[in-house]
Structure 1
Amino acid sequence: MAYELHDQALAALRNTGPELRNGAPNHAPMVIEALTVLGHDDAILPWIENFRPQLADDPRTSVVLDGEWEAALGDYTRLGAWQNLFRRELQSASWTDVLETWLPRLIPGSMASGTHGIIRCGHASRALANAVTPARLDELAKALAYCAARYRLVGGEPRLDGVLALEEATRQLPILETSSDRSGPPPRVVKRLNERPDFTAAVARLAPPSNVSVALSELAEIGARLYLHDAGRHPLVLLHTVTGPAAIQLIVANGSSKLAGIAFAYSWQALAAWASAYSRGLSADPLPTTAETWKTIIDLSVESGDDHAIKFAEACRRLERQYPSPVFRAAAADWVHRVVEARDWEPQQLVDAGIRTRLAAG
């Protein structure tokens, strides 16, 4: 894959923050990396210009976090200091060593940003595996800083003490009551699982995987099935049950077996949280399929300009190659058609349909 325009695009985003003007996560760095992998480099700079009105400024400070980093976890007012800490770390150690050190510290709190910080780390890791450049190191620093600044725990440590396979463990997850209010930012909804000790117990019933890479593909396949079963209710939230494990795969591809085991456990916990908070569980119906080709799905995703459609199509295509299942293509097609069909809807209609989770600024 060619990354000729990737660093130029990162430079164009240099002074933009990890969240948009309306408070939603900023997907721009992830989108440009996904467009690179999809071979749509020509769409990168026009996409940025169309997206730019939504972007917010990045904080600027000379302060660097030092020994007090644990006390600063979850403190978004110190985002700039977190960024400077990771810039310093990446100057004195390899990016893979920095991930080995910091991901186990940060991934327990990744649900606070709806796993977007970790997903951003995945895209940054793949770009760095292609070539180490100053722009890509800075992107990883920003991704790690976002994980740290939005840190918040959900459930206890996922110890995976059980004997259940992934599908059965997913079927035994507790589901939040249908009467529960699911409006507003998804991390706020997921936070209610802290009041459910049965959630932590259900997560622990999973047996540890013998092969983490294969288990992450299987986890993403279950996520695609969860998405398709409830795409009529909460499609935007549930597509992260696919993109989350897909991003973890990109991170652990260059890490140790210890890192892979930790990352898998928290990836499973994140999927379990999305499933418990937003889904009705796995369906017993036959797996959905689509006759559309990947070229059609990807071209439509790029044409739509939708940030999630681009990232979702790339992740699903990659996962299907690793773990053949019709649900990956069906899920990618479902989302992009929902986006295209709703392009003229009012903001509140999009929120009501689960295509957006909050109204735009203003």
Structure 2
Amino acid sequence: MDAPRDAPTDTDSAGILDTTGILDEALERLHACGPERLGRLTNHAPMAVEALAARGRPGAVHRWLDLYAPKLEEFPARVEPVTAADWRTALGDPRRAADWIAYFHRELGERPWREVLAQWWPRLLPGMYGGSTHPVIRVGHAVRTLEAGGEATAPRLTELAHGLGYWAARHHPVTGIAPLPGAGSTADALDAADALDAVPALADRTHGGFPARLGRVRGLPVWAASVDGPEEARRRLTELVRAATHRYATHGHGDEIMLVHAATAPNAVLRALPALPRALWVPSLHAAWTASAAVTAMYAPDNSVAYDPPGTFTAQEVFERALAHGDEHVIKLTDTALDVGDERALAAALRAVELTDPLTP
């Protein structure tokens, strides 16, 4: 399948303001659908169409969405309203997804979106591991669109409500993860690539889905624990995204789908930082490290493999290959790879194209 060739633009820089209205149309179309399907799998369409628009390909949005549409399910039924007085009892209850989305829709209709995000980010951050980290990724895409400039349109605010509501419904903290013995200041001084290499793999990586495997993670290396300033937190988070993206090229064969999230989850946090109070940047770094390291522990292969891409490609050409392939994880990893912007990151995106089954009608 050839990539559509309608007016491609520079995909090297994300956050392009879509003035066509196509992204808003697609989001309105998607807001009639639930955040999950089959009771546990994530609806990736809002994230993928945002990536297409942000990379200057709004003309491909509806065609891609038509291919993905069979995976969509209707919006779930409400149970009972979430209120400011009882939200804690609804936190982490996936049956309450519609209730949570309605709650955030009301909140975002009454207050500035950055104010709502700043209030709820520290409440939700400890549970960013629920839903296989997809809720925070969806929020990161929504924030990028709102930060791109222009009017905060109703569909874009509603998309943030869906992302936050999904996060609240799937809120799942991690417990029982201890610093590895001897991993104090020495491990803290490692760069992100070495720290990911130091993550021990689970002994049993053949049974159970994400929640079951996460429950078996008992220890992770200390990394960046001494960071106490917002600018250093942003620098380290940028380093982590780069390292996790690079690592996919040589380790993605361990699980071509799930290891994408070792890079896209921390990148979602990084994308949200400009909209958050600086006091939240350090805890955001720590939560992102735990997410990336835990995914690495849960799905990394026993051995790395050398990978040489099949030629030299520009960022735009790599994104066109991801679009032609169509898989939502490939599109999202490529989107992150373009944020990183170097040859090793582009190689990781090309590796994902090779490893992953394409989206087909």
User: What TM-score comes out, normalization by structure 2 length?
Assistant: 0.83
Amino acid of the structure 1 residue aligned with 2:72: L
Amino acid of the structure 2 residue aligned with 1:40: R
Aligned residue in 1 for 2:189: 164
* Mapping 1:172-321, distance limit 5 Å: 172-177=198-203, 180-193=204-217, 196=218, 198-199=219-220, 202-203=221-222, 206-208=225-227, 210-279=231-300, 291-320=312-341
Matched, 1:334 2:351: yes
Distance in 2 (alpha carbons) for counterparts of 1:332 and 1:226: 11
Aligned residue in 1 for 2:132: 114
Where in structure 1 do 4 or more consecutive aligned residues deviate above 6 Å?
157-161
Contact 1:21 1:55 in 2 (8 A): no
Matched, 1:147 2:167: yes
Amino acid of the structure 2 residue aligned with 1:105: R
SS at match of 1:253: helix
Aligned residue in 2 for 1:16: 33
Change (3 A) 1:299 1:183: farther
Distance in 1 (alpha carbons) for counterparts of 2:86 and 2:257: 36
How many residue pairs end up in the alignment?
Answer: 331
Gaps of 5+ in 2: 1-15
Contact 1:275 1:281 in 2 (8 A): no
SS at match of 1:56: coil
Change (3 A) 1:192 1:59: same
* Mapping 1:72-83, distance limit 5 Å: 72-83=90-101
Aligned residue in 2 for 1:349: none
Amino acid of the structure 2 residue aligned with 1:120: R
Gaps of 5+ in 1: 346-362
CA deviation vs aligned residue, 1:120-153 (integer Å, no higher than 9, x gap):
0011001112331111111111101111111112
Change (3 A) 1:40 1:158: farther
Distance in 2 (alpha carbons) for counterparts of 1:268 and 1:164: 14
Change (3 A) 1:157 1:122: farther
Distance in 1 (alpha carbons) for counterparts of 2:214 and 2:177: 16
Identity fraction in percent:
29
Contact 1:245 1:267 in 2 (8 A): yes
SS at match of 1:114: helix
Aligned residue in 1 for 2:9: none
Distance in 2 (alpha carbons) for counterparts of 1:344 and 1:11: 22
Distance in 2 (alpha carbons) for counterparts of 1:58 and 1:143: 14
1:184 offset after TM fit, Å? 4.5
Amino acid of the structure 1 residue aligned with 2:87: W
CA deviation vs aligned residue, 1:174-221 (integer Å, no higher than 9, x gap):
3211xx14345323312211xx2x33xx34674326523322221012
Change (3 A) 1:108 1:158: farther
Which one of the candidate residues 55, 77, 94 is aligned to 1:38?
55
User: What TM-score comes out, normalization by structure 1 length?
Assistant: 0.83
Contact 2:225 2:286 in 1 (8 A): no
